[in-house]
Amino acid sequence: MSAARLDGKACAEDLEQRLKQRIAECLVQPHLAVIIVGDDPASHVYVNNKIRSCERLGIRSTHIELPEDTDESVVAEHIRSMNAQEDLHGILIQSPLPNHMDEESLTELIDPRKDVDGFHPVNLGRLVQGRSDGMVPCTPSGVMEMLRWANVDLRGKKAVVLGRSFNVGMPQALLLAARGADATVTVVHSRTNNPQAECLQADVLVAAVGRPEMVKPDWVKEGAVVVDVGINRVEDSTRERGWRLAGDVHPDVASVASLVSPVPGGVGPMTVAMLMANTVTAAEQLTLS
């Protein structure tokens, strides 16, 4: 068997088409602000992708770049002022922040209605409650959208989520187990006794561990659907730049699975598309409230 490709790029393009219609009907131009602190090259690439996506869709964007040694109070002041700005609907703080900053406290300062990353405790709490009126974190909601787009029926299926971070693994598990999706979910983490045995049970496996190509073919059940969230830089002397991107799933898994998302071109574009969707939703809701 050679798995079909779960094409996140194509799914994101479809979603963008639907978003363009919503943006055209929105009473205001949606406006996203991105704050980035420091010079982590990967973070700058992610932010530039987000800004480019805004430009493509006609979403206004404000890009605030601050030096590594910025005091936390400066970021807090930006957030407070953005909370009060009526013509601004989404606020995103690019992760990771420098070590001297408390990311959780800063996230809690964001007005939950403008929390387009979905990381504010109010929004994560609504997700736990199964409510549909919160902002849902972009990566796991992007995975759900990809699975819907590919007509993967989750009802009664066994899903395994590899990773339990607050931004990917845990919200992913909640979304898969939520009413309507109805999968039966196992969460695997670094203290799990036998991660391979757990993964082998999965009809749907979502890998979000940050360990390059950790999921090998003998971790995957024949015909399973495998979603690779991982983005890892690995050394590669055959490339001019000396590195390549690798997922958390080994490419040979395609010989066992029925559907696999590629890296790049899988979950990455969906994460950005869901951020755009959250920004449009925030603009729609804030203009109605």
Q: Check the CA dihedral 234-238-242-244 and report its sign.
A: negative
How far apart CA 57 and CA 17 sit, in angstroms, is: 9
Cβ proximity of 141 and 115 under 8 Å: no
Catalytic residue among 7, 111, 115, 117: 117
Closest approach of ligand NAP to the CB of residue 53, in Å: 13
DSSP conformation letters of 119-173: -SHHHHHHHHTT-SSSPPPHHHHHHHHHHHHTT---TT-EEEEE---TTTHHHHH
CB 207 within 8 A of CB 191: no
Q: Which of residues 4 and 42 has its CB atom nearest to ligand NAP in the complex?
A: 42
Q: How far is the CB of 85 from ligand NAP (least distance, A)?
A: 27
Residue 120 Cβ vs ligand NAP, minimum distance, rounded to whole Å? 17
Q: How many CB atoms are located within 10 Å of the residue 237 CB?
A: 7
- Single out the residue of 98, 107, 92, 108 nearest to residue 279, CA to CA: 92
Q: Which is nearer to ligand NAP, 158 or 211 (CB)?
A: 211
Known active-site residue 9: no
167 versus 258: smaller Cβ distance to ligand NAP: 167
**Least CB distance to ligand NAP at residue 184 (A):** 20
What distance in Å separates the CA atoms of residue 43 and residue 54, rounded to the nearest whole number? 17
Query: What burial class does residue 194 get, using C-beta atoms within 10 Å of its C-beta: 0-12 exposed, 13-18 middle, 19+ buried?
Result: exposed
Nearest of 37, 14, 26, 5 to residue 142 by alpha carbon: 14
Binding site for ligand NAP (CB under 6 A): 139, 163-165, 167-169, 188-192, 195, 208-211, 229-232, 267-268, 271
Question: Annotated catalytic, 94?
Answer: yes
Provide, rounded to whole angstroms, the least separation between the CB of residue 210 and ligand NAP.
Answer: 3
Show the tokens assigned to 151. 């007509």
Known active-site residue 285: no
Selecting among 94, 115, 172, 221, the annotated active-site residue is 94
Q: Which is nearer to ligand NAP, 123 or 284 (by Cβ)?
A: 123
| Catalytic machinery residues | 50, 94, 117
